[in-house]
Structure 1
Amino acid sequence: KGMNQQEQLINGMLNKENLLQILRTSSVFMDTDGGPRIKVVCRYQQFRAARKICDRLRNGKNQAEKSGVVWHTQGSGKSLTIVLVARMLRASQDLNDFKIVLVNDRIDLEDQLSKTATLIGGRVNIIENTSDLRQQLSTDSSDINMVMTHKFQQREESLSLKVAEALGTYQTMPSGKPFGMVNDSERIILMIDEAHRTQGSDLGDNIFEAFPNAVRIAFTGTPLISERHGEKKTHKRFGQYIDTYRLMDAVSDGATLQILYEGKTADAALYDKHGFETAFEDLFKDRNEEELLAIKKKYGATGDILEAEQRIKAIAVDLVDHYINHILPNGFKAQVVCHSKLAAQRYQTAIEEALLARLEKARAAAKPDLELIRKIAFLKAAVVISGDGTNEAAYITTARRQAKEWNAVDNFCRPFDLDDPDKEYTGIAFLIVCDMLLTGFDAPIEQVMYIDKKIREHTLLQAIARTNRVKKGKKRGYVVDYIGLANHLTEALTLYAATDEQEELAAGLKSITSEVPVLEERYQRLLQLFAENKVKLVAEFVQGKLPDVEADAAVVHAAVNLLKDEKIRADFEVYLKKFLMSMDIILPHQAAHPYRVPARRFGYILRVAKERYKDTSLSLGDAGQKVKDLINDHLISLGINPMVPPVELLADDFIENLHKHAGGNAEAKASEMEHAIRKHCTVHHDEDPAFYKSLSEKVENLIDKYQDQWELLADELEKLRAEAIKGRQSGEDGMSKEATTFFAHIAGEAFADGKVPEEAKAKMKELMEAIVDTLQDSIGSIDFWTNADKQKKTRSEIKTALTLTGIKELKQNRERVAVEIMKLAKNRHDELLKGSTK
């Protein structure tokens, strides 16, 4: 209480007991898809939940007290939490005898969980069938096992396909026999992933029957909690909540993204509304049963309307326009959720036609955007649906075959690669589904879900959570609703958000324009930064209201001068990035239009500051592509290439650019020259530390000497630039250039005030010449800087020389001085070899 976030992190994570356990059980190495191996450290809610589970196992008096539910929202890392529990159990002396059984209900989740489970360490047994289940899980061994839920079913008689379809059940008739007990040990822990989906069914009962005394831990992001679920509510099946981490917890932590909701009724989405004047989508929001029956009688079954080609074509046009305008610029992708397999196939055709029409429109523009044309031409739509058995319709077979040939799901998850002809299917921008991939599908590249299917409660919340995964450049997830799910969304949020979060969530999911007040607040914070530091007329400048160019230039000069302070410059960058993030979320919506000119002009101030202070950290790198294009087009119109880095001090055109940037302002010229020299000294410091430290001190002295005399300061700094360009030209006091460089650096490292006593100077000079000879003899071998043994031998020779020279300071500091000599030698590798006469 009373601590800021940094203090909480320090006190929580660096507590001795916690830190040791994090290092021992909660830090793992993980291979990324096609990338480097990374070290993953637990999030606080993962560590907290795992610890609580272990505590319950130790302190619970019976099965009920040990069991429970971990309610962690979608995308918060439940699979890794399961791994951490297993690692903690294995590392503890009193709990390492537990048999661990990991249960999941889908093949894709089994693949995901099995990859994660390898992080536990040791062998993980994969249960392949029911007989293996009975054999392997009946033992007392404290092993780790993974099993899919459907292995806990027994089926006997086969039904014909037609009979099975008529009954709406599987082709194999369920057995009338109980599943039976497999293992009655109390030292078994069942950890069930996505436990809300099957644990209220016969399969769930069979699992409990198989392990009657086992500890049951349910992991879910959307537990069954509404009254209609009755005794199947997740907490009634498994016990009280062990740990909760809800929607807004994850959003606030940055573990997941906030989702913005945009409702598209028939009026907004359909162009030809003749056949749909009643706005059929609205029936899902507020029609009662009597009205629903009347509408069905007049217009046909719901499925007929939701599969109507005219309606789907109209929505597809709107959907493609939305995608190209809002999502494509930042390189993200879309999922389309529709009513049926037939609707999915029709959506694919309609989206392909809409893409072609948009492509022709782009080509016919007065000034064609060639990059946009190239991107649209690359886009594809794929259908992913399940099969219907041996008598499935031809369009289903075709769609399934195409999805397999395109490797649709994997290529959808990959970024667009327009340059590699072998990766044309990374152009899959639209993944069209009806039931598959609504849950348990992790694709951070998906930013928007277009919904044209009636779904509710936990299924709805799980579906829209596909868009909330974090990925670089992705600021928000989007849900675009073509069927009228607003009431169901409110219902879902009421169930799965804490009471005090419901209003906040509902507002965040209400409309894209809900970001406008955030944008305005961030805009005002930028203006406030300058106002509170006495820089006037910034609001007038960014709004383009000043009378002339001279007035604009005066404000830019004052603003950039303020940014000389590194703290204020860092604040400006942070505030601007947040402002631009909100801009990118709203663009190209008209609500962003009043902020377009301010965005361009703040971007211009950033660019001038970047050039003036040679600060390459100032960039629009984190801004979305829509905002980058907005600002960069403005800079290009002013003759500034945003892709060119600040002009370096040694560049041939430095002086020419200096005069252009300064615009006749002597203070601006002196300031840019000063920061160019400072940056040059920083970049090259390690090549000759003593020389560049001296150069930096000369800059400070000139600034102190010529305060407010900008013309004189600029002239003196230009002379200093000439000295910086030349660098150290020759040796001093009879030493070679290389020996002088090492002498000056080691003097600063080993002697008080960097001054070598007169009586030691001769020995020191002789020593440095000898060390340079040793280095020139050693470092020329091809693998010297990658061969630890060779480096160790040379460093040992240097330490011996330092010890035998008779100079007390060098002998006392020989370890550190030897290391500094080796570091300098590596940085001056080419210069040393160039100066060698051997």
Structure 2
Amino acid sequence: MPTEQDRLLVGLLDRYRFLEFLRFFILFDRKVGKIAARYPQAFGIKALLERISAFKPTGERKGGVLWHTTGSGKSFTMVYLCRALLLSDALKNCRIIVVTDRVDLEKQLSKTFLTGGAFGTEISGKKSGDSLAKTRSGKDLAKRIGQGNERIIFTIINKFASAAKQPECYNPSENIIVIVDEGHRSQGGENHQRMRQALPKASFIAFTGTPLLKEEKSETAERFGAIIHAYTMKRAVDDGTITPLLYEERKPLLDVNQKAVDTWFEKVTAALSDNQKSDLKRKYTQQGQIYTAQDRIKLNAFDISVHFSENFKKAHLELKGQLATDSKLSAIRYKQHLDSLGMVTSAIVISPPDTREGHTDVDETNLPLVQDWWKKNVPGDPQNYEKAIIEDFGTDGPPDILIVVDKLLTGFDEPRNTVLYIDKQLKGHNLIQAIARVNRLHPQKPFGYLIDYRGILKELDTAIRDYQNFEDMTQGGFAIEDIEGLYANVDTEYKKLPALHEKLWSFFTYIDNKLDQEQYRQVFMPKYESDAEGMEVDVRQALREDFYEAVTDFGMCLKTALSTQSFFDDRAFTEADIRRYKQDLRWFSELRKTVRLDAQETVDYSAYEGQIRDLIDRYVTGIDVKKGDEPVVIESIGETNPDYWSDDKARNETDKIKTRTKKTIEERLGDDPYAQKVFSALLKEAIEKAEAMFDYKAQFRMFSDLEKMVEGRDVPDLPVSAFDGNRHAQAYYGAFKLVLGKEFDALEAEKGDQLVEEAFEIDKVVNRAVAENSLNPAGIEQDVRKNLLPRLFSLVGLDKAKAVLDEVVQILRNGVAK
């Protein structure tokens, strides 16, 4: 009997494959030595070459997304791609532009290209040869794009904003390959469209470990093209390419003197309106001030110190940890408490005080603690400080723990990094990126550890499940056709901009001096008059609400426009128009804040922030840290085994899956009314059955089976396999069942497979209508009705045909809305 080793040798040593492997998939790195590609890298490169070699009907090269999980060697995969392009007769003349979104990532990637020999022997022989490939400014980028001949260019995505202003920033050649690192982060929006403007026929290849998901589709794939090749976290763990992760929840138990807090609120807000009181409490809750409480952080710092010391330091392991916090203030407080305990060493890596970390709403610019810490610890260049800390972190000396807010939660690869202490809210692809910081292989590291002080298990469960579902979609080859048309109306949304812009200015028609802000404020200033019942009412309240809505509509439309290629291609909109729209949006957004304050609808939270911080520090006391259940392997979070659960856990998990399934039916099945109806009934039936069951594990299995059916849209009484994954055609088939009711069975018996074929035909008509009316969305429904009514009339009669058409149009609307 042949063994696995026999199969490996026969497969690899096939004459053609072996020579191909030697030629394309072995490189010599100056630092590491000889490197052979792993199988996902080899198959990924072959898939990339095939895609890049193909052209769209419009003349540009095809692109797409390489989804290889974080830690699987994407940097070297890029180097292999550069070599493979050079060795291909058809592609050897292609130039390569590598686009990142951060300076540190650009530096890391360019060094890998340098040591891996991607630049060629002349440049690779120089110590800083990679610096020659980096663009120095937007102007330099524009010149290299339009007039340069370098084979490889490195740039930051933000440079395209200024580069686009230069006339030479244009190259219509199809022999340009744009490699975009981590295509889900800041690689969208206006800068992305500016890049496409400059390189209209280039192939855009996004490398990502976490595609950005939007509902059931991939937003990353929507932006760059189809998933070309996938190598997921689960497969990488199974292959031993990355370290498996263990999750453990720890809950800080706090004692809050609620009476004292309520008394303070009553005293401080006595002079505020009811709206302002509600606004202050809402902002207080949103800011999560209780998480920054001194005593809570002190409690967690002690727990972290003990955990790291007991599990790593005392075992004399040369491993490190990372602590993710929600603010610079929290980071510094953690550092102070860790230092005072003296059990572990630590260092902070944050951005300067005048820079907001990530998407935080808190402005920490003027906090004395943050300012003082920065002055004492970062006296010179912040980049040099950060570089030194990262280098020290990679040694067996201090620091033991790296404290961060947003920095180094993506793109930071240090094999010693073993445990991530989480004390900030994370979700979706940001969460997956963060936990991957501790999945690199190290000889002393059987697992990466996630210690959660913020209660993100639900978010982690959702993120893992979403990516597992998306993995299932990609295994059969994820077709971009699944997305095209679904978002087609976005391409014309920008045409509403002039009307929305004009509507905003219409509020100020009678202002004499357009430069006087006070006159703008006066338009919305509260004005009280007596109504018919003698009650004092603000007659300008409705006007203010209309203005708020107008600002929101204009802002959303402009955001969509700046992310849409057709907006930049439309000559009806000039660069001057774009600048004016941006300036006006900033102006009106600030005016809206002022108007709300004038009307006493909101409060300036910063005026109370310091007092609230002191209040929390005074009245929140840390009691203990409660440990959760046994650590859970991350890959098993999405696919759990209830046999090992307690009854309480089984009941909690059942409640979660029940809620999640209900939400999926309500929010994701709007584009399939029949499936929505059937699954709603099945969920109701399952809930009734569960009430009569005392076995919580059996309840969980029942709801789990239902959830799988819902996610796969496996409707019990439909020939699901006949639609081969075409959910739109399946939904149109369901429309017949929905409208015809009991008559459907007789029609199905008479027509047989014709109804399935009719559903596919409806799908073709809808797709054609969407494509032909891309510049006139209003014409889509009209075309669908006109083309389908005669077909449906001959099949089911006029009244039923109209009813089926109504369902088809509803499916179309909900599909496009997603």
For normalisation by structure 1, the TM-score amounts to: 0.48
- TM-score, structure 2 as length reference: 0.49
The structure with the largest alpha-carbon Rg is 1
